[in-house]
Structure 1
C-alpha cells in the first residue's frame, strides 16, 4: 500500500512539473517582442504655405511716404529635397502667388503706356494705392529638427524668391475724379529678393527684402523712383 502511494506521488509530481513546463513555454512565446513595423525614413517635407504680410516701401523719393496699412497675402506649394541622411537639411522650390497692396502718396495719372507721377499732399486725395499680383518661384535652403515620427519641429528656411508681375492696378481718387490704370508698363515685370522664415510647427515669422526696384522707368521731377519692397509677417506651413 505504501509503495502504491509513493508511485502515485511520483506520477503526480512529474505531471505537475510537465504541466508547469508547458505553461512556462507558452508564456514565453506569448511575451515575444512584436515584429518591428518598417517605417519609411525617406520622408520629405513637401508643404503648402500661406502667408499674411505687412508691406513697406524703402528708398522712397523726397516727400513720398506710406499712408494707412498696406497688406499682402501669399500662398503656394514647395517641393522638399533632403540632402543629408537625417533629412534635417534640404533644398526646396515650388510655385506660388502673392497679392500686395501699397497705400502711399505717389500720384499715378495718364495711361498704362504713358504714366505720369507726382507727390501728393497729405490732404490732396481721398484714396491712392497700387496693387500687384505676382507669380512666385521660391528657391530655399532648409534646416529643421524634424523626424519621420513628428510634424512638430523647429525650422529656419531661407533663400531667394523670383516673381513675375502678372497684373497691376493703381487707383487715385481726388477732387479731379477717379483715375485707374491697369498693367502699368513702368512696373518691373520681374522682381527678386531674399527671404527668411523661422518658427516652430505651423506658425512662423517671415521677412522679405526686394533686391530690385518695383518701378523700372518711373520718375518724379527727373528723379528716378528706385523704391523696393520690404515685407514682414507670418507664414504657415501645412503638409
Structure 2
C-alpha cells in the first residue's frame, strides 16, 4: 500500500511543479507554503533491557506548513504548520488497565502486542534553501521543534485465548515535544525526529519508572 501511495505522490508532485513552471509568472515575493507528508519508522528510545521491538513500527503524518521568509532573497525563514500524525509501536510491553490504573508488564507467548497513537502536531521550523523565484527544485535543510497533542491511545494484546484493549489511559502523556530535521532535494527529504518528552507518565515496569521516548526516522515529502 505504501509503495502505491508513493507512486501516486510522485506523479502528483511532478505535475504540480510542471504546471507552476508553465503557468506561473515570475513572483519575487514567492512563498514556499507546502503540504507535507512523513513516512517513518518508530524507534523506542531509553527502553529497559527487557523491552524489545519486533515487526514494523510505522508512522505517518500529513499537514500544511506556512512559509515565513525573513530575507530579501526569501531563501531563509521560518515555517509554522499544523498536521495530523498516526503511529504504531509493535513490541513486547504489555499494557492493561484495571480500575482505571494502567499496569505494565513484559509480554510473552503472544500473537499481537502493540499500541497506537493519534495526534495533532504543530511543527515550527527554521528554513534554509537555495530556491529562487523560478527554481522549483532545490536543496533544503529545515529543522526545529514539534509539539504534539495526542488525543487517542490504544494498546492491544492478543494471545491464543484472550484479547485485551487499554484505551486512553491516564498514564499516557498526551502533550509531547521533540526536535526534528529534514534535508533533501525537491520533494524527497530525509527526516529525523528526536522526542524529548516521555511517552508515559507514572507508569512503572518491574518497580522502575518507564521513561520511554520516541525516535522517528524516514522520509518527508514537501508538496507545492
**Smaller-chain TM-score bracket:** 0.7 to 0.9
Candidates 167, 185, 188, aligned match of 1:182: 167
Q: Which runs of 5+ in 2 are unaligned?
A: 1-24
Which residue is equivalent to 2:100?
113
Which residue is equivalent to 1:13?
none
Alpha-carbon shift at residue 184 of structure 1 (Å): 1.5
Give the TM-score normalised by structure 1.
Answer: 0.81
| Pairing 1:55–2:36 present | no
Rg larger for: 1
- The answer to whether the 8 A contact 1:61-1:223 is kept is no
Distance across 1 between alignment mates of 2:125 and 2:98: 38
Distance across 1 between alignment mates of 2:69 and 2:97: 50
Alpha-carbon shift at residue 112 of structure 1 (Å): 7.8
1:148/1:111 CA distance change after superposition, 3 Å: farther
| Pairing 1:236–2:221 present | yes
Which residue is equivalent to 2:28?
41
Alpha-carbon shift at residue 111 of structure 1 (Å): 4.2
* CA deviation vs aligned residue, 1:140-170 (integer Å, no higher than 9, x gap): 0000001111210000000000000111111
- The answer to whether the 8 A contact 2:82-2:120 is kept is yes
Query: What count of residue pairs does the alignment treat as equivalent?
Result: 200
Alpha-carbon shift at residue 39 of structure 1 (Å): 3.5
Alpha-carbon shift at residue 175 of structure 1 (Å): 3.9
Alpha-carbon shift at residue 194 of structure 1 (Å): 0.3
| Pairing 1:142–2:127 present | yes
| Pairing 1:159–2:132 present | no
Distance across 2 between alignment mates of 1:205 and 1:113: 40
Candidates 171, 185, 200, aligned match of 2:156: 171
Aligned residue runs from structure 1 range 65-80, under 5 A = 65-80=52-67
Alpha-carbon shift at residue 176 of structure 1 (Å): 4.4
Return 111-120 or 189-198, whichever deviates more: 111-120
Give the TM-score normalised by structure 2.
Answer: 0.87
Candidates 185, 189, 197, aligned match of 1:204: 189
Alpha-carbon shift at residue 109 of structure 1 (Å): 1.4
| Pairing 1:225–2:173 present | no
Distance across 2 between alignment mates of 1:140 and 1:178: 42
Q: Which runs of 5+ in 1 are unaligned?
A: 1-37
